[in-house]
């Protein structure tokens, strides 16, 4: 029970929380109603930077969601050119994070970081399809244990102004491990290997480090979903 209430806060959030708390104290000195508003915003900042543990499926060949949020789009697209993965279209799964989601991102698979590429850009609404091409982004190319490659891309959003990526080229990583964060609201795209079908549907909510996006050995057809 206590773990569900007192969720760990990521260290990257403490400077922001301190600033929010200081502003709240100043507002409270000026006016009590403004102080309550500042306290509410400080509580939201604490909530935003929460970093709960997740139970990650450990079977090889599973692709796990790298982000909390809603599966906004599933389509066919070529990975970012800067990753040198060719121009052939792959299945892309886009997970959109709003400002109330956990924003710590996790590796979708185990393997070796083959390439990292940062590209500056615009700050359009991350829910727009063209955000994948026009917005600031941090792209990761991961070589799986069977030699195939997968790509995942952190994309800044309308109010996101900072992409954090702690991965390094050559790192050996495991599925579900933390690799970065985006502040404050954004999306993460996953480009699956050729021929792999996603196991999620548009509109479905995913949990970083837990929700299975795809099975690299699976033979299931693409899934549809509906609100019930």
String of DSSP letters for 155-222: EE-SS--EEEE---TT-EE-TT-EEEEEETSEEEEEEPPTTPPBS--TT-EE-TTTSEEEETT--PPP
For the chain, what is the total number of helices (H) and then of strands (E)? 4, 13
Q: What is the pLDDT of residue 128?
A: 63
* Same domain flag for 92 and 133: yes
Same structural domain, 40 and 70? no
Length of the chain equals 228
In a domain, 80, yes or no: yes
Q: Is residue 163 part of a domain?
A: yes
Statement to judge: residues 31 and 130 lie in one domain = no
- pLDDT for 226: 79
Domain match, 202 and 129 both: yes
Q: For residue 201, what pLDDT is reported?
A: 94
- CATH code (residue 126): 2.70.70
Sequence-distant (6+) residues with CB within 8 A of 225 are 200, 201, 202, 203, 204
- Mark whether 41 and 153 lie in a shared domain: no
> In the chain, how many domains are there?
2
Same domain, 90 and 26: no
* Confidence category of residue 162, pLDDT binned at 50, 70, 90: confident
Task: Return the percentage of the chain with pLDDT > 90, whole number.
Answer: 51
Average pLDDT over residues 180-201: 89
Q: How far is CA 171 from CA 107, 116, 165, 174, 188, in A?
A: 12, 11, 13, 10, 20
Residue 198 included in any domain: yes
Task: Indicate whether 86 and 179 sit together in one domain.
Answer: yes
Of 52-61, 98-107, 126-135, 158-167, the poorest mean pLDDT is in: 126-135
pLDDT band at 219 (very low <50, low <70, confident <90, very high): confident
Same domain, 98 and 151: yes
State the average pLDDT over residues 24-52: 87
Please report whether residue 141 resides in a domain. yes
Q: Which domain holds residue 138?
A: 62-215
Residues 87, 34 within the same domain: no
32 with 68, same domain: the answer is no
pLDDT of residue 70: 95
Is 54 within the bounds of a domain? Answer: no
Q: Comparing C-alpha atoms, which of 142, 70, 81, 69 is closest to residue 112?
A: 142
Residue 204 has pLDDT above 90, yes or no: yes
Contact 97, 123 (CB under 8 A): no
For residues 166-185, give the mean pLDDT.
90
- Please check whether residue 173 lies inside any domain of the structure: yes
Bigger pLDDT: 184 or 13?
Answer: 13
Position 83 in a domain: yes
Rounded to the nearest integer, the mean pLDDT of the chain is 87
127 and 184, same domain (yes or no) = yes
Nearest to 73 by CA among 187, 212, 163, 160: 187
pLDDT classification of 227: cutoffs 50, 70, 90: confident
Q: Are residues 88 and 39 in the same domain?
A: no
State the catalytic residues: 186
User: Does the pLDDT of residue 1 top 80, yes or no?
Assistant: no
- 57 belongs to a structural domain: no
């Amino acid at each position: 029970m206590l773990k569900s209430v007192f969720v760990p806060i990521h260290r990257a959030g403490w400077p922001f929380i301190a600033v929010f708390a200081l502003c709240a104290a100043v507002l409270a000195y000026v006016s009590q109603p403004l102080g309550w508003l500042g306290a509410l915003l400080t509580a939201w900042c604490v909530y935003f930077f929460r970093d709960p543990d997740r139970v990650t499926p450990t079977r090889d060949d599973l692709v796990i969601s790298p982000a909390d949020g809603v599966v906004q789009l599933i389509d066919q697209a070529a990975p970012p050119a800067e990753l040198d993965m060719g121009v052939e279209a792959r299945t892309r799964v886009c997970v959109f994070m709003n400002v109330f989601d956990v924003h710590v991102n996790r590796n979708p698979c185990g393997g070796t970081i083959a390439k990292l590429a940062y590209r500056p850009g615009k700050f359009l609404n991350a829910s727009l399809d063209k955000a994948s091409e026009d917005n600031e982004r941090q792209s990761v190319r991961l070589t799986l244990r069977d030699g195939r490659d997968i790509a995942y891309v952190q994309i800044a959003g309308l109010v996101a102004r900072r992409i954090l990526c702690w991965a390094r080229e050559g790192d050996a990583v495991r599925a579900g491990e933390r690799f970065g964060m985006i502040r404050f609201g954004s999306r993460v795209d996953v480009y699956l290997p050729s021929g792999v079908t996603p196991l999620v549907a548009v509109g479905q909510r995913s949990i970083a480090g837990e929700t299975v996006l795809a099975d690299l050995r699976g033979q299931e057809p693409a899934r549809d979903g509906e609100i019930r």
